Structure 1
Amino acid sequence: MKIKAEGIIKTDGTYLARKIKIQEIWNEDVEVKGTIDSKGSDWLKVLNQKYYVNSSSQLFNFDLTPISFNSLTVGLKVEIEAYASSNNDSLYVKKLNVHDSTTVDVYGKIDSINANTFYVSNQKFVTNSNTTVILYTDTLGTVNDLAVNQSVEITALLQPDNSYLVLVVKIEEDPNVTKVSGFINNVTQNSLSVALPSFTITANTVVLNSNYQTISFSNLTAGQKVTVWGNQVGPSQVVALQIVANTGIVTGIEDIKNQVTIPDNFSLSQNYPNPFNPSTRIRYTLNKSSFVTLKIYNILGKEVATLVNEQKPSGTFEVTFIANNLASGVYFYRIQVYTQGRAGSFVKTKKLILMK
C-alpha cells in the first residue's frame, strides 16, 4: 500500500494531515517534497527526516542536469525518492530533484540583444547551451535566430542577480518574415506571385503539399492556393522560405457563406490543463488513416514517454498523460504522422508545463 499525505506542521512539531491518498501499490520507496532544513557530510534533512546520500544516489537540478551533493544548500526546495536500508533504520536517497518554483512566462518584443543576453520590456534574459529555441514554423532553432523586434514567448528561471535564465523561447512573430495566403497569379522559373507580393525562389525554399510532403516547385501552377513564408532581404525583394500548397486548381467562384469549413488534414491541440499536475489531456485530429507517434520530451530533448505509437483511423482522438514519476519543469509533446509509408507527413511540437 502506498500513502501520499499533504499537511501542515503544528507548533508542537507534529503534522496535521489535510489530505491523504491511499493507493494499492506495492512500493517500498518513500517520496517527499519539501525544503532542506539542515545538511551534513553525507545526509540532508527534509521535514525533520534525515536522508542519506551514497554513490548510487541520483541528484538532478530543476532542468534534469546532474548536480553534486555539495551544490545542495539549506532552504532549497527538493523532491526526494528514497528507500529504506536493509535493517530499516535509515533512509537513502534514490533520486533527488531540485524543485523548480521560480519559473515565469513572459510575452513581448525583444528590445535589444547582445551575445547570450537579450531584453524584453527592460527585463534581462540570459541564454545558455540548454536554452531551447522554437521558430515561428514550430521547428527547433538556435539562439542565433533571435533578433530585435521579434515577438517571443519565454519560459525562464529567476536568477540571484534578478536576471532570468531562459529555458524555452518561442518566436511568435518576426518582422522580417512575411506570410501570405492567396492564389498564385503567376509562376516563372525562379519566382511566383501571390496577390501583390512577388517571392524569389532559391535552392533553400521548401515546398510542401497539403499533406506536408516535400514536392518540387515545378508542381505549382497559376490559380493554385498556397501559403508562403518569406524573408524580406531588400526594399523590393522577398525570398520564399516555405510554401505550403493546397490541392486543386481554382475553376470558379461560388458563395461559401453557408458552407462548412473543411478542417486541416492534421492538427495538434494545446494540452489542457496547462500547467498541470499530475495529468493533462492532449487532443489531435487526423483526416485520413495514418500511423501516429506522440511522444513527450524533457527540456534537454530526451524522450521520457511514448503516448501513441500505432495506426489510427481518421477522426479526433484524446490521450491522457500522467506525469507522476517526472519532476516539475518544462516538457514538450511532439506528434509525427506517417501517411502512405512516408515519415514526417505532419510534424508538430508544443510545450507543456508540469508544476507539482
Structure 2
Amino acid sequence: MTFGQLRLDGVSRSFGTANALRGLDLTIARGEFVALLGPSGCGKSTALNCLAGLLPLTEGSIWLDDTRIDGRPPEQRGFGMVFQNYALFPHMSVRANVGFGLKMRKVGRAEARRRIDEALRLVQLTEHAAKFPAQLSGGQQQRVAIARAVVLEPPVVLMDEPLSNLDAKLRLEMRMEIRRLHQTLGLTTVYVTHDQEEALSLADRLVVLREGAVQQVGTPEEVYAQPVNSYVASFMGYRNLLDVTVTATAGPLATVEGDGIRLTGANRGALTEGSAKVAIRPEDFVVGDGMENALDVTVEIVEYHGRELSVSARLGTGMPVYFRTDKRLAPGDTVKIGVPAERVLVFAP
C-alpha cells in the first residue's frame, strides 16, 4: 500500500480518570523514522497501541492520507508490528514464523516463497531458516520478528522497545541492523523507546512525551542541542539542573545567580527577571583557568569511563556539579571549571 502521510489528530486515550495520552498531533511522512521517547508511563506505548488498533481512541482520529483508519481493526490496517517480547511460535521453524502472516493472508505459494527468502536475506538469517526459535540467540530471534513484520510489505512498521531484552553489544548491532533495513526498504517506522541514545541514533524525528503530553517534536540535533524546557533538557542528558534567579538580560543572553554562583547563559525562556532553571551538560564543562562562567569545585567521586572520567563535585556552598573530563582527577582535588555561555541554557522554572 502506498501513501503520502500518516496523521494523528488529537489522539487521546484515558483509562478511567487517568489520561494516558492527551491530544497527540503528529504527521509522519512516508519513509520517515519517528521515535516516541520518554520514561515509563509517559504514554509512548499507549500511542503505539492506538496506532496499531490494539486500543480504541478516547478522542481524536488517525488518517492514512485522506482515509480515516482509527475505526478499523488491527488486521485491516496492515501495519507490521515488532514487540519487546518477540512473540515467536516455538513449534515453528524460522521460515514458518516469518511466513505466518503471508499464510493468514492467503498469499500465493510462489510469491510467499520469494518474499520470505528476501526477508531472511535482509536480516541475514538465510542459513538459519530451518532452525527453531529455541536454537537462536536473542539477537537472531529479534531479527526473525523484524523479518516477520517486513515480509508483509506493510505501509508502516510499529516497534515497541524491540531491543530492551538484549545485552549492550547486541543492542548496538541490532540498532545498526534496524537502521540499515529502514534505509534499504524505505520503511515508514514508528519506534517506541526510553533510551535517548537509541532514539538519537535511529530516528529522523523524535517525539518527547511526558505524562501523556508532547513536550517537543524535532530532529535529533534539535532535541539534543535545543531542548524547549527543563524537562526535555533533563531527559536528554543535561544532568546539571540548578535553581537560579535572573538578575539581568541582554538580547539572547541572561545573567543568573543562585547559591554562590553567577552565570551567563542562553535565555531560552524569554525571561526578564525572577526564578529560572539552568541546564548544563556534564560534557560541556572544561577544566582549567580562563574559562567563561568559572566555578571552583571540590572533586568527590570519580568514575572511569575509558578515555574520560565522569566526575561528581561540589561548590563551596555544597551544591553538586557533574562534569566529564580527560584530565586525571582524584577525590579531594580542588579545580576550576568553566562553560561557554551558549552551552548554559536558561529556562522558565
TM-score normalised by the chain length of structure 2: 0.26
Which one has the bigger helix percentage?
Answer: 2
Which one has the bigger strand percentage?
Answer: 1
User: Which one scores higher on RCO, CA 8 angstroms, separation ≥ 6?
Assistant: 2
Max radius of gyration: which structure?
Answer: 1
TM-score normalised by the chain length of structure 1: 0.26
